[in-house]
Structure 1
Amino acid sequence: MKKNILLLLLSVICFVSLAQPLTVKAQEQSPDNEFRVGLEASYAPFNWTQTSPDNGAVPIFGEEGSAYAGGYDVQIAKKIADGLGKKLVIVKVQWDGLVPALQSGTIDAVIAGMSPTEERREQIDFTDAYYESDLVVVTRKDSPFADARNLSDLSNAKITAQQSTFHYTVIDQIPDVQKEQAMKDFSAMRTSLASGVIDGYVSERPEGITATGANPDLTMVEFDEGEGFQTNPEDVQVAIGMRQGDPDLERINEIIATISEDERTELMDTAIKEQPAAVEEVPDGETAESDSDEGLLSDFRNILDEYGILFLRGTGLTLFIAVFSTIVGLLIGLLIGIFRSLPSAENPFSRFLQKLVHGLLTIYIEVFRGTPMIVQAMVIYYGTALAFGVSMNRTVAALLIVSINTGAYMSEIVRGGIFAVDKGQTEAAQAIGMTHGQTMIKVVLPQVMRNILPATGNEIIINIKDTAVLSVISVADLFFQGTTAAGTNYQYFQTFTIVGVIYLVLTISATQLLRLVERKMDGPSEYAMLDELNPEE
């Protein structure tokens, strides 16, 4: 038992040590010599994540040495940075966070396969197009819609597209279409398509080539000329997003103009060939033979070999955020609980201040218990940058968000623990001359800590799982790394099975450790009488 506990503690120390480097790197406004580019790093062949610097990949900010971004967008970004005479810095950002990150100054540009639609132009500026593509529909080969050649052939099909893209709006052009809810990213759409939840999704041709190349069960519907989606020129163009009024916009347009159409085509063809999910061609006359260990187990091993270091760092960061935030949240809860147990002050002014603070604490508790953590993350991380010009480090923001959220819940848990202590003990302590502070510290709180230990354990487990919502601000926790890997290798079941097992190991380990602490605090379950221990005496 002691050996198991020691191994568990060593694992915790290992994970936390892996997470620490991510917390010390300050994420400030971009220095003048840096060109910070935001992208998802999971939208092959435009951009993806890999674990080596092969094929001109660039280190991802905050994950240097373990994660690199590659793809067409990255190669374009390198040319732009060289033309500006600046160092390229790639910042991985979830799709929904790209525009807020740009507006807040966290990044200098969005180079992520983004179309310069009118809606987006109201918020940010765009350069000239650096790529132009056609719209396609990705479906299954065995689907009745696989042979579609015009929009009418897709009638009654269940079609979706990525959230916050113009792809979703063009679905209405399909007659009698069953328009499904927009999905967060391409990983979700590909998984839904493979499982039969949808019949297809709207995409661009490069992504369609990638999807069908990685999964032989999928096919790409390309429409006959004039029979496809009706779009504006800017809808099928891809441009660089910039802050409104950015003085570098014209310079970047001049750089883009120097990249010929042939060079752009060559860059895209190379990206399609080099993407991690690319299927190796088998020479004519040969057949691809299956190895004896090929199958799910082989897939799991390959994923761990390729992305194991990312999962390990994501696990370390997840555990670090969960444990640290629970401890801080507990301290917040104890302080609030003690304050709310204070007797009313006799001085009118002190009593007014006491009520004022009590009201503010009530607002804090209700706000953070009554709103989703994912909303709190967006408001705190991007809101502080937009309102006050403060660009926070993502890990620091994550610790702050989860800590204050946990503190709101823990304050109510502590209050319940205080009420569970018999009032007679408080009265007895006061009768012998103990102050309120002495009574709380020496009599009440020791019992409160034992009473709330199970609830505190639940908060740790909840926080381990809830760090996943922090992916909205691109915190590189376990879920974020899993999403990145799945979006790159297209093996969703295998990847998220590994992620799920890691979460399960973390929660079970935390549960067992907390039960051990409970037993130590309780002492022996039975106290034998002296004469039973020594019957001869």
Structure 2
Amino acid sequence: MKKNYWLLLVSLFMVLFGATAIANADEKTPDDQFRVGMETAYAPFNWTQTNDRNGAVPKSGDSNSYAGGYDVQMAKKIAEGMDKELVVVPIEWDGLVPALNSGQIDAIVAGMSPTEERRKEIDFTDPYYESDLVVVTRQDSDYADAKSLDDLNGAQITAQLNTFHYSVIDQIPGVDKQQAQSDFSAMRVALSSGIIDGYVSERPEGVTATNVNDDLTMVEFDEGEGFETAPEDIQVAVGMRQDDPDLNQVNDILSGIPEDERTQIMDQAVEDQPSSSDSADGEEESSGLLATFKNIISEYGILFLRGAGLTLVIAIFSTIAGTIIGLLIGIFRSTPESESPLLRALQKIANGILRIYIEVFRGTPMMVQAMVIFYGVALLFSIDMNRTIAALLIVSVNTGAYMSEIVRGGIFAVDEGQFEAAQAIGMTHGQSMRKVILPQAIRNILPAIGNETVINIKDTAVLSVISVGDLFFQGTAAAGTNLLFFQTFTIVGAIYLVMTLTATGLLRLMEKKMDGPNSYNKIEETTTGHE
């Protein structure tokens, strides 16, 4: 057992060291930087690539990942006009406004429309792009030749969650309005698989989708036959905090960019996006499913490996930290009540607090916990937490809530005679727990610890809501750029499977090591002599 304890401590030290190294990659942003948030998965406005080709900018916290697109080029012009260095912070769509208001970014440059609802939360600059609404559908769809909204009668249509695109669907007569999707990646998959007949989008995104996938087409409406929109609905503007003193300066910079130059930048972005270009070496890409897998791995393999490494760091560290939290809570909650009235009262209060902690973190989704903790801390205390540290904290605390009950069950699973025997030889409660009960309890709960490790490897995917660059986040960014969703997530799924199978195998070896030999041979000594 001592060897196992030392192994546990060494593993914890190594994981802590690795986590610190990753966390140090995100240094505190100085005042001379212009931090902008975007999805980096909404081509041609913004996308992810693995080099700085075509003026791409490194993504914050990941030296091997770059952001390109129309938004990036416009953000570069704004930063140059402000005499600041541009820093692109990859953030999921739903996290952009909370990140802005909490001070984690200085502006949103993500193809966001300055709708009336959003103006209640943030301010917007003058528009830097204006587009028309279209409906993306399949070439073989009954609605592929639609010219008006009436032609879409009965179609199953959706749009991105928390966008005005979803609200205009109601203008289609007899439409079968579907549940809003979290992002364009999800909508394109649903469309290709036949779950929906189409989704509402802006023309640049529609051009991207049809350029990449020959099975898709874009429905453009005749004049007066399309969606009725307010001017700000089809405009794209920079989002900034309310009463931001830099708002007027940004407007001045945007006013100095002629309309024809903006159009040229967008046309160039459509041409440069990785999904519509040749391979990095300029050679024509091979056809076939296996060739597609090879191209994806070649282009995004380094990002997947970095994401997998971060996933393992978070999962292993959080499982160890959560187990330690669970052990401490489990030991405390199994401690007999004190004879002192004051200590007994304090013990009951502490037990009540711990019960609330356990029930809250076991009774709410980790995704909700991530949003509340990460953005709540920033809003309430003006603390800009490092995303990796926040991920370690969130998953560790969540795991601790589950492990505390597992540990308590493991302690009570030890035969009561063990307690009595330890007390009979004069051991205190602490000595009994440390030397007799816990070694047996840890062995009892080892399968549960292994299960939590596997769960944590998979559940880090929910941390994409606060834009932690784990494997799922990197896969989403890649699929949002190349639009090869099935192929990309098949690769991501295979990596997850390798990690979980490896973790399970190592934990089973540890179980066998703790159990010792399967059988013991009794050595009988024979003696000679008279009976």
Bigger Cα displacement from structure 2, 426-435 vs 371-380:
426-435
Aligned residues: 514
Deviation at 1:13, TM superposition (A): 12
- CA–CA distance in 2 between the matches of 1:127 and 1:503? 42
The answer on whether the counterparts of 2:69 and 2:269 sit within 8 Å (CA) in structure 1 is yes
Question: What's the TM-score once normalised by structure 1's chain length?
Answer: 0.93
Write the distance in 2 (CA, Å) between the matches of 1:68 and 1:17: 26
2:156 aligned with 1:158, yes or no? Answer: yes
Distance 1:280 1:430 in 2: 75
TM-score w.r.t. the length of structure 2 is 0.94
CA drift of 1:211 comes to 0.3
- Deviation (angstroms), 1:26: 4.6
Listed one character per residue, the Cα deviations across residues 6-33 of structure 1 (whole Å, up to 9, x for unaligned) are xxxxxx99999886542223554x4220
Find the partner of 2:100 among 99, 102, 112: 102
> How far off is 1:350 after superposition?
1.2
Alignment of 1:227-376 (within 5 A): 227-279=225-277, 294-376=287-369
In structure 2, distance between residues paired with 1:362 and 1:397: 23
**Aligned counterparts of 1:303 and 1:264: Cα–Cα separation in 2:** 31
Residue of structure 2 equivalent to 1:50: 49
Task: Name the structure 2 match of 1:399.
Answer: 392
Say if 2:516 is the partner of 1:523: yes
- Counterparts of 1:425-464 in structure 2, within 5 Å, are 425-464=418-457
Q: 2:415 aligns with which of 399, 418, 422?
A: 422
**Whole-angstrom distance in 1 between the partners of 2:97 and 2:377:** 15
Q: CA deviation at 1:144?
A: 0.6
Return the alpha-carbon distance in structure 2 between the equivalents of residues 70 and 342 of structure 1.
58
Aligned to 1:41: 40
Is 2:278–2:284's contact at 8 Å kept on the other side of the alignment? no
Partner in structure 2 of residue 390 of structure 1: 383
Amino acid at match of 1:257: S
Q: Aligned match of 1:76 in 64, 74, 77?
A: 74
Q: Which residue of 1 aligns with 2:84?
A: 86
Q: 1:17 to 1:347 in 2, by over 3 A?
A: closer
Q: Shift of residue 129 of structure 1?
A: 0.2
Q: In 2, distance between residues paired with 1:125 and 1:349?
A: 55
Query: Structure 2: how far apart are the matches of 1:152 and 1:13?
Result: 64
- CA shift, 1:198, in A, is 0.4
Alignment correspondent of 2:120: 122
Instruction: Work out whether 1:25 is the aligned partner of 2:25.
Output: yes
Task: Tell me, in whole angstroms, the C-alpha distance in 2 between the residues paired with 1:451 and 1:233.
Answer: 65
CA distance in 2, matches of 1:477, 1:151: 41
Match 1:180 to one of 178, 181, 189 = 178
- Residues 99 and 27 (structure 1 numbering): CA distance in 2 closer, same or farther, change over 3 Å? farther
Q: Which runs of 5+ in 2 are unaligned?
A: 1-11, 527-531
1:173-205 deviation digits (Å, cap 9, x = unpaired):
000000000000000000110000000000000
Runs of 4+ residues over 2 Å off in structure 1: 12-22, 25-28
Gaps of 5+ in 1: 1-11, 282-288
Amino acid in structure 2 at the alignment position of 1:488: T
**Is the CA contact 1:123–1:244 (under 8 Å) kept in the aligned structure 2?**
yes
- Give the superposition deviation at 1:528: 2.1
Q: Say whether the 8 Å CA contact 2:108–2:238 is kept in structure 1.
A: yes
In structure 2, C-alpha distance between the alignment counterparts of 1:495 and 1:178, rounded to whole Å: 30
SS at match of 1:338: helix
Matched, 1:204 2:202: yes
Aligned partner letter, 2:229: T
Q: Which amino acid aligns with 2:287?
A: E
Q: Distance in 1 between matches of 2:162 and 2:17?
A: 37
Overall identity of the aligned pairs, in %: 69
Q: How far, CA to CA, are the matches of 2:296 and 2:514 in structure 1?
A: 42
